[in-house]
Amino acid sequence: MHEGNMDRKLIVGITIGDYNGIGPEVIIRTLEDERMFRNADFVIYGHKSILSFYAKHMKSQHFQSHEVKGLEDLNPKMANVINCWEEHVNVAPGEATSDAGAKALLALNKGTEDLIAGQIDVLVTGPLNKETVSQHYAGFKGQTEYISVKAGSENSLMLLTSDRLRVGLMSNHLSLKEVPGKIDMVQIIAKLEMLNKTLRQDFLIQKPRIAVLGLNPHSGDNGLLGKEEKEIIAPAVIKARDKGILCMGPFPADGFFGAGSYAKFDAVLAMYHDQGLIPFKTIAFGSGVNYTAGIKVIRTSPDHGTGYDIAGKDQASTDSFRAAIFEAIDIYHHRSQYKEMTANPIEKVRLSEDRDA
């Protein structure tokens, strides 16, 4: 990557996801708009035959793709495609197949490798099916976890973002019975530090305000419905505030979202997946973005899944996928700006004094 050059076109990597889902369709409909190429070059990890199949099926008149062997051969005027496998595949829109899972994993792995190596600037991942991928990668729980481990960070933060709400998750893809065991003071503080940092460096919010939700109904009702709030979450919030993080809580989740209190905060830390994602998708579904915070590389994805029920019907909205691209590009530039703003502050003061002298 070429840090510091704000004017150059970024290289945006895109993984095709499950080729039997809506991923290829939203990629095609997004990149058939020539305006997308003004500020970025795009490379799709998948296979050109898949894109050709869907472009023909959708009667796309403007989507163009160019097969490349390496990133040195990118065409700036059309979608570039790196074939991540050689054999022919049978495309069956709407069907969850083992082979589609295997190919989605190949594309994800290649895109992640290039991202970590700095060959591309950001990565936007298409939706895949965790069940079919796990048939080829034992213990696969999701792209967030996969990319985080590959990037050398076991402890990342799944952050759902929109123009109205940002929600970070204490725990990602866990069964409910496992969640209480993952709620401890050290981890809550770590997630709050991660969330605070990403709001400052990736979203350029100088003094972020963070709300923390409780685990139990009514935030435990003062210990009547659970002790996690009194014994773990509230003390963690206090310790985080001692570290300079402007956070408040724990709040009962139902009343917090029902009363619109989220509008007073820059982000919310939810204790488990559905506690955060149900209100987020109710408020922002179709335009939200899933961002993997807390790691050194930049990865986003749309806030929807494979959409098997509408796959192959050219009905999928591109709004969330397009937002994921723009969010990734914005975060890249925000990080560059933040790095410049915070680098050598003493030297900057000296330079300012010299100019004023």
pLDDT digits (tens, 9 = 90+) for 194-226: 999 999 999 999 999 999 999 998 887 788 788
Domains of the chain: 6-156+295-357 (3.40.718.10), 157-290 (3.40.718.10)
For residue 347, the model assigns a pLDDT of 54
Q: Which residues, at least 6 apart from 23, have a Cβ–Cβ distance to it below 8 Å?
A: 16, 17, 126, 127, 128, 306
Burial readout 1-33 (b: 16 or more C-beta within 10 A, e: otherwise): beeeeeeebbbbbbbbbbbbbbbbbbbbbbbbe
Do the Cβ atoms of 62 and 32 come closer than 8 Å? yes
Q: State the 10-residue block means of pLDDT for the chain, 357 residues long.
A: 63 98 98 94 98 96 93 93 95 98 98 97 98 95 94 91 95 85 93 97 97 91 85 97 97 95 97 94 90 96 96 96 97 95 65 49
Residue 350: its pLDDT value, please?
Answer: 47
